[in-house]
């Protein structure tokens, strides 16, 4: 199953040329899940060939503009481009009021329904559960209510070994049970153990998205053992005071989060515009957690790779 | 006096790569006036070196997203970058409600004051009058309330001929009156006629910004003889029905507006994303009004040139 994330924006609030505010497109089994939608996300989607028509779920972490100001434009474009299928929008409840007001004053009635699913940053919620994925909110520690999102793949069914199907002439109506782990009793009375006729699916993978937040161990247990941890890393650690004052994290701290939560890999982003190049941020995080990458616009990361 | 406009965005609502929704930076005597502020305007300002700190006036024509969705991000960045000087914001009254709601939910109190000046699309208003310029609203004909803006330079003072000052030893306290047209009576009793010691300033120029609107002769008298007329031109004339159905103008009609209002020069923009190249739109407008140019991102047009 495909499970990968493409970075559409990596900057924090103040704009900087060639970086965009937060947005990521998560591809789960060829369905797209948009995480945050900063201003200009539509242009980034055009640039990196991420089709809005394939997005059925949008997740907004919080109501600072660099995480959602591209949303109303995106909804409006979906409408103008003829979308009729519903969209699930996971967000703080106040966002509905903002969207409704903007649509009202532009005299726009969307041609598609938005199914709002409201987050509550005071607790963990299972916010989405479909055949591919379970998504939990991650209560973060920011200046305003903010939730990250934890995407857990569902355990996949076992696969029946092709040659066994042919050799044993297994009837199709047995497939479902065998994929779930049943043994196969052939018409001649011989029992074939499940382990001998199937191979296991890959272990389910997890992607933890943590932006924006200051370093706070409260969310560590929930995100532990993530295959890929995206963690904001707004400043270098020589600006730790400023990071704490603005409820953000330093690159060094992001590395510590990854280390302490036993992440398999760390992705850092939400970079302050003061950093024209990102090498120092990367080096600082890697000094604590070597398997770190930069969330750079246009790059795709396979989760579990 | 400098009087020129730089195009920051030329597209209509549906996004297209490498075009941005409406925004223009008008430079009047080295003060910047931003006209409309579509999503991504901040990035365009970075791209074309238009400094937000030099903007003291913003004009929003109407509340369709492609004309204002970049505004809250821009205000927020001005705040984050330490702006304290007030900003005049000319806009439909409902925009204040939208801005207030978004600032409230992001828990942001701007460090600078916004002096709101509300437009009323049912009538012509003199909406700004300062030593450099008088600005009138232009009631347009769009699906929702929409005003264009007519920027008229103030008549400049006459200039005293440098050599005359030296030759006649004119005292500095006489300058102001002479610049306004007074003659100079020298201490020896000789009268120097104003026309002999001064040269006239350039004729005041006008810039008319008309977006969004359908073709409607009601606004023709007001914008007549503009030195530069920007007129929306969303479609080719083979889509006249669609233009009328959506309250927009075709390139042919934009040419007719320029012709009938005796514009000196026409600038067309607000192009539909269906036009990947713009030559046909330009050719169509020029077939009626030859002195037409495309409002292309990054281009600067001197008004009255």
Domain termination site, one of B199, B222, B252: B199
The residue in chain A having the minimum alpha-carbon distance to the alpha carbon of residue B102 is A98
Residues 6+ apart with CB under 8 A from A203: A304
Q: Which residues of B are catalytic?
A: 66
Tell me how far apart the alpha carbons of residues A105 and B62 are, in angstroms, rounded to a whole number. 9
Strand pairing category for B198-199 and B191-192: unpaired
* A102 and B CB contact within 8 Å: yes
B231 in the same domain as B164: no
Q: Which of A8-12, A13-17, B70-74, B85-89 has the lowest mean pLDDT?
A: A13-17
B163 in the same domain as B89: no
For residue B217, give how far its alpha carbon lies from the nearest alpha carbon of chain A (Å): 24
Q: Which of A115-119, A121-125, A163-167, A193-197 has the lowest mean pLDDT?
A: A163-167
A55 in the same domain as A164: no
A179 in the same domain as A55: no
Section A204-222 average pLDDT: 97
Domain termination site, one of A177, A199, A221: A199
Residue B50 has phi, psi (to 5 degrees) of: -100, 115
Q: A280 in a domain, yes or no?
A: yes
Residue A305 clears pLDDT 90, i.e. is over it: no
Q: A305 in a domain, yes or no?
A: no
A94/B76 CB distance under 8 A: no
B130 in the same domain as B190: no
Which pLDDT value is given to residue B259? 98
Which pLDDT value is given to residue A84? 98
A240 in the same domain as A185: no
The residue assigned the tokens 């598609």 is A112
CB atoms within 10 A of CB A238: 12
Which pLDDT value is given to residue A250? 98
The widest CA-to-CA distance across chain A, in whole angstroms, is 74
Q: B300 in a domain, yes or no?
A: no
Helices first, then strands: H and E counts in chain B: 10, 18
Residues 6+ apart with CB under 8 A from A304: A3, A202, A203, A205, A227, A228, A264
Say what the alpha-carbon torsion angle A157, A163, A166, A168 is, to the nearest 10 degrees. Answer: -80
A150 in the same domain as A54: yes
B112 in the same domain as B34: yes
Q: How many domains does chain B have?
A: 2
Q: A216 in a domain, yes or no?
A: yes
* A82 and B CB contact within 8 Å: no
CB atoms within 10 A of CB A50: 20
Q: A89 in a domain, yes or no?
A: yes
H-state helical runs in chain A: 41-47, 71-80, 94-105, 162-168, 175-179, 194-197, 220-223, 240-245, 251-260, 279-288
Tell me how far apart the alpha carbons of residues A253 and A235 are, in angstroms, rounded to a whole number. 10
Percent of chain A with pLDDT over 70: 100
Mean residue pLDDT across chain A: 96
CATH of the domain at B228: 3.60.15.10
Name the band, by pLDDT with cuts 50, 70 and 90, for residue A3: very high
B241 in the same domain as B170: no
* A98 and B CB contact within 8 Å: yes
Residues of chain B with pLDDT under 70: none
Tell me how far apart the alpha carbons of residues A57 and A300 are, in angstroms, rounded to a whole number. 19
The DSSP secondary-structure symbol of A79 reads: H
B107/A72 CB distance under 8 A: no
Which pLDDT value is given to residue B157? 87
A183 in the same domain as A124: no
Section A2-15 average pLDDT: 95
Name the band, by pLDDT with cuts 50, 70 and 90, for residue A71: very high
Q: A24 in a domain, yes or no?
A: yes
Q: Exactly one of A66, A132, A212, A227 is catalytic; which is it?
A: A66
Section A190-209 average pLDDT: 94
A218 in the same domain as A152: yes
* B53 and A CB contact within 8 Å: no
Assign B198 to helix, strand or coil.
strand
Nearest to B39 among A40, A46, A101 (CB): A40
Chain A hits for B98, CB-CB cut-off 8 Å, are 98, 101-102, 105
Q: What is the pLDDT of residues B6-37, one digit of tens each?
A: 999 999 998 898 899 999 999 999 999 999 99
Instruction: At A49, list the tokens.
Output: 């060939």
Bigger pLDDT: A155 or B40? B40
Strands (E) across B189-299 are located at: 191-192, 198-199, 206-210, 228-232, 266-269, 292-294
Chain B hits for A42, CB-CB cut-off 8 Å, are 15, 39
The residue in chain B having the minimum alpha-carbon distance to the alpha carbon of residue A44 is B17
Residue A99 has phi, psi (to 5 degrees) of: -65, -45
Q: B215 in a domain, yes or no?
A: yes
Which pLDDT value is given to residue A64? 98
Tell me how far apart the alpha carbons of residues B70 and B40 are, in angstroms, rounded to a whole number. 6
Tell me how far apart the alpha carbons of residues A188 and A116 are, in angstroms, rounded to a whole number. 55
Strands (E) across chain A are located at: 3-9, 23-28, 31-37, 55-59, 87-91, 114-118, 126-129, 133-139, 147-153, 159-160, 184-185, 191-192, 198-199, 206-210, 228-232, 266-269, 292-294, 300-302
Domain that includes residue B59, residue range = 3-156+202-295
Residue A4 clears pLDDT 90, i.e. is over it: yes
CB B242 within 8 A of CB B184: no
Section A209-233 average pLDDT: 98
A134 in the same domain as A189: no
- Does the pTM surpass 0.90? The reply is yes
Chain A hits for B102, CB-CB cut-off 8 Å, are 63, 65, 98
Tell me how far apart the alpha carbons of residues A28 and A3 are, in angstroms, rounded to a whole number. 5
Q: What is the pLDDT of residues A76-122, one digit of tens each?
A: 999 999 999 999 999 999 999 999 999 999 999 999 999 999 999 99
Domain termination site, one of A171, A199, A227: A199
Instruction: At A42, list the tokens.
Output: 């539509």
Q: A23 in a domain, yes or no?
A: yes
CA distances to A163, A177, A281, B9, B158 from A185, in Å = 17, 12, 59, 69, 105
Chain A hits for B40, CB-CB cut-off 8 Å, are 39-40, 43
């Amino acid at each position: 199953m495909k499970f990968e994330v493409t970075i559409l924006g990596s900057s924090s609030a103040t704009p900087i040329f060639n970086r965009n505010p937060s947005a990521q497109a998560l591809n789960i089994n060829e369905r797209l899940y948009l995480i945050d939608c900063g201003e200009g996300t539509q242009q980034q989607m055009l640039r990196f060939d991420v089709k809005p028509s394939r997005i059925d779920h949008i997740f907004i972490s919080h109501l600072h503009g660099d995480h959602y100001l591209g949303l109303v434009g995106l909804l409006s474009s979906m409408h103008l481009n003829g979308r009729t299928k519903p969209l699930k929008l996971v967000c703080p409840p106040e966002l509905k009021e903002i969207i409704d007001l903007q649509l009202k004053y532009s005299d726009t009635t969307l041609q598609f329904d938005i199914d709002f699913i409201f987050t509550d940053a005071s607790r963990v919620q299972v916010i989405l559960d479909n055949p591919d994925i379970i998504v939990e909110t991650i209560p973060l520690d920011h200046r305003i209510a903010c939730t990250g999102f934890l995407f857990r793949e569902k355990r996949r069914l076992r696969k029946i070994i092709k040659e066994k199907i042919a050799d044993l002439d297994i009837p199709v109506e047995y497939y479902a049970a065998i994929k779930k782990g049943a043994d196969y009793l052939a018409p001649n009375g011989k029992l074939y153990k499940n382990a001998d006729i199937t191979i296991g699916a890959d272990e389910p993978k997890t992607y933890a998205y943590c932006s924006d937040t200051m370093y706070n161990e409260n969310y560590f247990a929930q995100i532990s053992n993530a295959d890929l941890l995206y963690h904001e890393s707004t400043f270098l650690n020589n600006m730790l005071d400023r990071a704490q004052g603005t409820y953000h994290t330093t690159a060094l701290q992001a590395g510590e989060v990854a280390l302490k939560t036993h992440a398999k890999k760390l992705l850092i982003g939400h970079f302050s515009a003061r950093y024209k190049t990102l090498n120092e941020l990367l080096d600082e995080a890697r000094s604590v957690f070597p398997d770190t990458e930069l969330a750079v616009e246009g790059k795709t990361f396979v989760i579990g790779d």
